[in-house]
Structure 1
Amino acid sequence: MKDDDVQWRFGDENTVIAEIYKRPDRITVYDDVLDGRFRDRLKLDKQTGSLTITNTTTEHAGDYQLRINSESKIFGLFVFDEVKSVSVKEGDSVSLNSNLTEMKYDDVILWRFGDENTLIADIYKRADRLTVYDDVLDGRFRDRLKLDKQTGSLTITNTTTEHEGDYKLLMLTGRRRRRFSSKSFRVSVYDSVHCCGPTEAVIRLVLSALVGVATVIIVVYEIRSRRAERDQAHIHTSGSIEI
Structure 2
Amino acid sequence: MADTGQKVFGESVSVIEGDSITLNTDVTKISKDNDIEWKFGAENNVIAQIRNENKIATFDVPDGRFRDRLKLDRQTGSLTITNITTEHAGRYKVNINGVKLTSKTLFVAVYARLPVPVISSNSSQCSSSQQNCSLVCSVLNVSHVTLSWYKGNSVLSSISVSDLSISLSLPLEVEYQDKNTYSCALNNPISNQTQHLDISKLCHTCADSVQWCVSTEAVIRLVLSALVGVAIVIVLVYDVRSRGAEQD
Q: Shorter-chain TM-score category? A: 0.3 to 0.5
TM-score normalised to the size of structure 2?
A: 0.47
TM-score normalised to the size of structure 1?
A: 0.48
